[in-house]
A and B are shown apart, each in its own frame.
Chain A
Amino acid sequence: MTTEAIHEDLNEAHDDHDHGDHKPTGFLDRWLFTTNHKDIGTLYLVFSLTMFMIGGAMAMIIRAELFMPGLQLVEPDFFNQMTTMHALIMVFGAVMPAWVGFANWLVPMMIGAPDMALPRMNNWSFWILPFAFTMLLSTLFMDSGGPAAGWTLYPPLVLQTGSSFAFVVFAVHMMGVSSIMGSINIIATIFNMRAPGMRLLRMPMFVWTWLITAFLLIAVMPVLAGAVTMLLTDHFFSTNFFNAAGGGDPVMFQHIFWFFGHPEVYIMILPAFGVVSEILPTFSRKPLFGYGSMVYATATIAFLSFIVWAHHMFTVGMPLQAELFFMYATMLISVPTGVKVFNWVATMWQGSMTFETPMLFAIGFVVLFTIGGLSGLMLAITAADFQYHDTYFVVAHFHYVLVPGAVFALMAATYYWLPKFTGNMYSEKWGKIHFWSSAIFVNVLFFPQHYLGLAGMPRRIPDYSPQFADFNMISSIGGFAFGATQLIFVGIVWHCAFRSKVRATPEVWEGSRGLEWTLDSPPAYHSFNTPPEVTCNALSRAD
């Protein structure tokens, strides 16, 4: 394909505005009708930060109720609505859209493309989300209340949600449609729009991890859509997919849900792996160690994610052979994950490291994510899982991989690329304050929950036995402090975007490699109108 062809096509896609740096004027034209990958990326990121704050506020309510034994602040049913909504909002509203936002900003710039492959669909993918989450959040104000059966939506409990359940199901459908369209767009962009010379195995790791994530999304979001559709008809149209009395099987829902749910876990963490693989080489001033093995490890993790789902449901009464299969398959995942962790450590080995905020968050990710990974190995041991199942140990485990895992990687990505996006440097002093208080309080918040779980405290319970009081109080104090710390983050982002006087250079960082750093900071509204020449030297890997 000739380069002229790409540009003619893109001109057609962008027939509402011309080349160069001309932005549409007027608020609605600029944001509601935008087809520009940078604008849509910004919309996604602002949306997910908003959802992060809303989901975080719910977490504060949960931790406040759990501050002491007994029921103090909220009714048990509302507490359960909070745990359910907190999870749905953080998973589908905060982490996933944030990664799509970074993909929108970065994938075209990293592969030397002028925009996403399908700019109009891109607009639609984003603008579905505010409606989906308005619907989901509105259930909290309905007579029958929001969903309260946990984000896993297990029947028969979830079927006892009142008529607001229909809103939950349609909201999940819309989130799924948005994710699938976003993924199709990312895959089409990566497959069809790379600059000449940007071979697949030269792509930056963030692009690779997102490519694999996008395939996971297309494979499993429709399965979730099917599962919630079956719940919907069970609830409103008297089908009996999951109703034991009518010949259905509630355990089957768990199988279908986790067939989606386990790949979903990797959907949230694979882009984080990509981000860390971009940041560590920059601040170690060394190429990424083991680029090829990173790509294959990512693909292996993605493949294995499809055959381990039943480790979420060891206690439903499976035959021994199945328990053993899912145990060994799950433990197998620690091999490619271990490859990644060792590669990251080897990347830093003997590098001339400096510790700017993105690097701090990336190193924090490597250390704390690994703790979450190790507790995951403990949970994979099927015999031990019978003790850990549905306790705070599980809560501690997945919060370690999601908060100091996925969320820290998102923070790292923000500090790393925000100067590129805005053209201004953030405040390094406040960035460091943000990192250190986040890193300390996230451990105060979640580490005691391991002990609570091992001592037998069940999850999703608003009240607990007095023996758990001390650790819960410590955890809640950590939670409030961690929550307050994130307000600093909002302040830093706002300051960087609108107030900072320090201009960023095109390279931003001394050791940065990759096509996005060859553009100005901020990049022109339409970048790479002429495809760049891809040289090995410009990329972060050595080959």
Chain B
Amino acid sequence: MHIQDGFLVGKWAVAWYGAASVFIAKGVYDITWRTQKVMAYKPLLGLVSAAVFFISLLPIPVPVTGTSSHPAGTPVAAILVGPFVSMVLAVVALLLQALFFAHGGLSTLGANVFSMGVVGSLTGFGVFWLGRKAGLSLGIAAFLAGVLGDLAVYLSTSFQLALGMPGIHDQSVLKAFLTFLALFMPTQLPLALLEGLVTGGMVKYIAKVRPDILIKLGVLRETDEGESQNAENQK
């Protein structure tokens, strides 16, 4: 869920723009730097961004109720292309959603980019990186990145709403934060687990059938398990 236009007072909307722009500047700088070396980098990111956008619109099955929801997508983008670049992809996806989908908004774009893009990417990538350092398998590390990344997105969304919702000022920030969290958590906790499951499944599947992509993107090293799995497949 993204914060809709009108949900944040002007002051905070501008503040989140400022906070997000620092990180986005780093992402834009990274992409420009990479483009000078690999000219195909921007077309690649365009395609990856379209894929992640599509993935974030896919229904994922929720057990028991028989309904479905959709994942945030930033944790997996951060794993695949790196945290700062995935923030730029989040800007693109959120801008398109705000303009052509009435999902989110332009005045709250900064806030949404900060929660989904910056916090989601950094948490997702950080957890994945730490998990790999700790010797976890690719699937498990991606699963944890998906779960914690998704949760972090909603924690920061609740925090942003608690700070900036019109008329909230007469309540303590903590109380408002907990209220929003209580509203989100019953639906978001299972969703975070699902996001983790599909993220883990997706990364594991790519490692199984096309480890060369993950090696090229720097997710796997030549000698990592992906290669050996591929060798097994070819046998």
A and B are interacting partners: no
Chain A residues proximal to chain B, CB less than 8 Å: none
Chain B residues proximal to chain A, CB less than 8 Å: none
